[in-house]
Structure 1
């Protein structure tokens, strides 16, 4: 009896140990599969490498491990001429899932043509992928996706902050490039949302710490990059986004509603810079008549009542706008994509209960990425794939990533920058993105290498088929332009 009990106990301990082992991340490993995809009518063979590469401390000991997926086109003769793109999403704390199976990768999440979720969940070929022109590495920073800190004794603070994030990722990228023999390849970074803060800083860190000079940086739905825009400036910049959202929901006056969106927005932008911002700067000393006139114009463009605009001293906060625009219909609108409508417990109040856009995306992308990584790419693990991982507290002090990017451009005449933004994005609105681009280089000497593209979608503008096709074509054109510039000796 005692032997049976010992045997059962031993078996149980072995099972527990095996389960614990299966939940530990592999520190340094790869799984390779081969596939094809049709892009622009051309069948492209490619190699997919799903792997883990360590983050090392100063003594060369692994302290964390990071998950990545690398797509390499196989029928390429000269890898030295083949562009290589590192792709990051934001959060901070978000995995690379969104752009991976939503935008540039060879497989995309199944959604409807306007970008709204449908079931059954799954993936399909992405006929707009940029794999025809570039190899791509999708990177999950520490504590996102399958990436993990390896021990409770490791100091978390070295990963979770603006500058901390940039420092360890620059080291990791340099090691990855060496391992994969890609030093001669033209190199690009693409980041979305907080990922734009990340790649802007990386452009400087890679150049200054590792002598790795980039050809291009793509900022998708960018943050402020540490560029000051508080107070009246930040408040005024929201109005063109308000106008776009109101236009989409048909809340504008007939004479404005019947105009095409991209014909209307320049008028709102001009009013914002030339009249609205100066009025906000005057604050409580704005003349009463002028105050009423500005309130009328703001209400007209934003699809709100003059009373609401005056209640907020001409500057309606975003959270109020999301609640107010469709209040009479009993709906809220989405933060990250204001085409989405939400239902709150009550119509009153100033804040919505949840962002209907993010909720919709989470339930479409989560099952799709888990199926794809585990069953299609063959990366088998009991680890949970963290769409959003635990990275708090995040140290936001010392954010000079915009200046790091400007300095990298000034020192590297071949470095180009593209901004992509959705008109219906209320989280990182498109006109603030324009402002960031304008302020990135106050001298104006770099403006011929700074580009902006807008789309009729939200934060993830690539979820809508039409914008997915256009945005990827814009990436192709940007990559080609940067490569052509690199073939010509540059002199300031």
Structure 2
């Protein structure tokens, strides 16, 4: 089932429907909405597919009902749409990465788009030239795909009177994405198409929030794919122990991978289940007692914890049984002079020195970034025939620094100081009991541990039959599940079943 790309049949720049101004009273030009369009062929899922790749931008307006149409941001996207399909029946999926403030090249070039970058994960990827190949695990046989660069990232830019601060915040970001999606389905006549969201990392925060804001805008979703989820930013606050409990199964998976476990079971999932039982039982009970925990119980719990995490009993006792993911990454292979990756704990590398409590960098990030950035630029120019005089910002300048973390949830009288969006998703499912959610998790992900996701999705008020709306997938990979090709293959199979059932 290989996938082949033909050369572009044509390339054109066209103005999308809708009147837009070409300059603002502030002197900052407002560009016309233009697209570069190319035609391609592929073989995916056992059938030949002719599809159109559209690279372009759409303008979003700050005032929802402003007849003069005053754009404040231009949002960049790359869309892949199958030719000859009835838009009423053809699903469309909106995909984006997280950050917040990160462009979406990772999902586009690594996951379910028509091509993918070859990496050497979990080893650092070698120097250029990098290799981009047809992606036999693309979702194009199931859905049209629209990859969106968050406002302020990629080629997305403020226009007119717009500023970075207009989109730098949890709710500001949700507003901008809602406007873009509504505009996209309006311009492209996709209002009645089955609709899906697909977010990674902070993109899952966005998706949970969008489930509510899109619903309020009259956009009913069929399904949401949550890849490496972060749905509650309050769990790591000082004095709270929940993150220690939900991190432990991921520590266990990592210790298993690096052979830091004695008497290993035959498979890692069995060991993870044993770690879950310990974390939710004896470990939770010990943490609940706090400083009242007896010396004997401290010893007993540390011994049990050591068997799952690979950390020494003495270290665990000195840490009062509370080890953060960052400290775990530094400690597990300290005797070998190595640190572990945050996004993918299979990655390892030497640190500047073997002392200290925290790793100096994340080898799972540095090991793939160069390959993805270079490959995307080359692919965009050579295959999709799109060029720009602007700088492509993989991280939006000024976005994270100005990010407003307050969030007004669906039932909140006052804004939350830190976002809790699992509540938004639960509210949307209660109002639309047909909405399905697929939670995909890498078992070696220490940035968004899978057990934390399980906790949040089981506490969002969806009882009884609605519990069946949420499905889970677990893969031998990290945060970016698709870096492991075998995991990507399994992930793609699970997604195919999910899309079939969610329509």
TM-score of the superposed pair, with normalisation by structure 1:
0.89
User: Does structure 2 conserve the Cα–Cα contact (< 8 Å) formed by 1:46 and 1:71?
Assistant: yes
> Given the alignment, which residue of 307, 319, 330 partners 1:300?
307
Query: What residue is the counterpart of 1:12 in the other structure?
Result: none
Inter-CA distance 471–359: structure 2 relative to 1 (3 Å threshold) = same
Residue of structure 2 in register with 1:265 after alignment: 272
Deviation at 1:113, TM superposition (A): 7.2
Counterpart residue number, 1:206:
214
Are residue 71 (structure 1) and residue 76 (structure 2) matched?
A: no
Q: Hey, what's the Cα distance between the residues in 1 that align with 2:228 and 2:121?
A: 21
Match of 2:113 among 105, 110, 127: 105
Q: Determine the C-alpha separation between the residues in 2 that align with 1:384 and 1:104.
A: 25
Larger Rg: 1
Aligned to 1:412: 432
Pair 1:172–1:349, CA change in 2 (3 A):
same
SS of 1:137's equivalent? strand
Question: Aligned residue for 2:197?
Answer: 189
Q: SS of the counterpart of 2:502?
A: helix
Compute the displacement of 1:401 (Å).
Answer: 2.1
CA separation in 1, counterparts of 2:396 and 2:366? 16
Residues 154-163 or 421-430, more deviating: 154-163
Distance in 2 of aligned mates of 1:27 and 1:64: 12
CA distance in 2, matches of 1:269, 1:400: 24
Asked if 1 retains the 8 angstrom alpha-carbon contact of 2:90 and 2:194, the reply is yes
Of 35-44 and 272-281, more deviation after overlay is shown by: 35-44
Deviates more, 1:401-410 or 1:179-188: 401-410
Aligned 1:11-30 pairs, distance under 5 A: 26-30=31-35
Q: 1:446 aligns to what SS in structure 2?
A: helix
| Counterparts of 1:469 and 1:117, CA distance in 2 | 20
What is the CA–CA distance in structure 1 between the aligned matches of 2:129 and 2:486, rounded to whole Å? Answer: 22
Write out per-residue CA displacement over residues 79-103 of structure 1, whole angstroms, 9 at most, x where no aligned residue.
Answer: 2111110001100011111111100
Which residue does the alignment assign to 2:141?
132
The CA distance in 1 between the partners of 2:259 and 2:235, in whole Å, is 33
User: How far is 1:114 from its partner?
Assistant: 5.8
- Equivalent residues of 2:99, 2:201 under 8 A apart: yes
| 1:443 corresponds to | 463
In the superposition, relative to structure 1, how do residues 115 and 28 fare at CA in structure 2: closer, same or farther (>3 Å)?
Answer: farther
* 1:315-359 deviations in Å (ceiling 9; x for gaps): 112111101111111110100101111221110001111101111
Which residue is 2:186 aligned to? 178
Mapped contact 1:189–1:217 kept (Cα < 8 A): yes
CA distance in 1, matches of 2:115, 2:299: 52
Q: Are residue 55 (structure 1) and residue 60 (structure 2) matched?
A: yes
Q: Does the CA-based 8 Å contact 2:39-2:50 persist in structure 1? A: yes
Seen in structure 2, the aligned counterparts of structure 1 residues 114 and 307 have a Cα distance that, compared at 3 Å, is closer
CA deviation profile, 1:361-418 (whole Å, cap 9, x unmatched): 2111010011111221011112221111121221111224222211111111210111
Is residue 151–residue 176 contact of structure 2 (8 Å, CA) maintained in 1? no
Q: Which has the higher helix share?
A: 1
Shift of 1:24: 8.2
Of 324, 345, 358, 2:365 maps to: 358
On the 8 A contact 2:122/2:364 being kept in 1, the answer is no
Candidates 307, 316, 336, aligned match of 1:329? 336
How far apart are residue 110 of structure 1 and its match? 2.1
CA shift digits 1:109-167 (9 cap, x unpaired) = 1224768524421311000101001101000011111111125x534322111111101
Say yes or no: does 1:238 pair with 2:247: yes
- Determine the structure 1 residue equivalent to 2:45: 40
Separation in structure 1 between the aligned mates of residue 284 and residue 122 of structure 2, nearest angstrom: 34
Kept in 1: contact 2:152–2:158 (CA 8 A): yes
What is the CA distance between 1:229 and its match in structure 2?
A: 6.4
Structure 2 residue aligned with 1:401:
421
**Secondary structure in 2 aligned to 1:92?**
coil
Per-residue displacement from partner, 1:295-328 (whole Å, max 9, x unpaired)?
0111110011001101110011211110111111
Residue 259 of structure 1 deviates from its aligned partner by: 2.4
Aligned residue number for residue 423 of structure 1: 443
Question: Deviation at 1:27?
Answer: 4.4
Q: Greater CA deviation, 472-481 or 110-119?
A: 110-119
Q: Report if the CA contact (8 A) 1:121-1:364 is conserved.
A: yes
Residue equivalent to 2:380? 373
Q: Which stretch of the first structure deviates more once superposed, 385-394 or 197-206?
A: 385-394
> Within 5 Å, which residues of 2 pair with 1:246-261?
246-253=255-262, 255-256=263-264, 258-261=265-268
What corresponds to 2:175 in structure 1? 167
Q: TM-score, normalised by structure 2?
A: 0.88
- Does structure 1 conserve the Cα–Cα contact (< 8 Å) formed by 2:152 and 2:164? no
* Structure 1 unaligned spans of 5+: 1-22, 484-492
> SS in structure 1 opposite 2:58?
strand
Deviations 1:34-58 (A, max 9, x none): 1112213322111000001112121
> Tell me, which stretches of 5 or more residues in structure 2 are unaligned?
1-27, 408-418
Report the Cα distance in structure 1 between the residues aligned to 2:123 and 2:434, rounded to whole angstroms.
35
2:345 to 338, 357, 363: 338
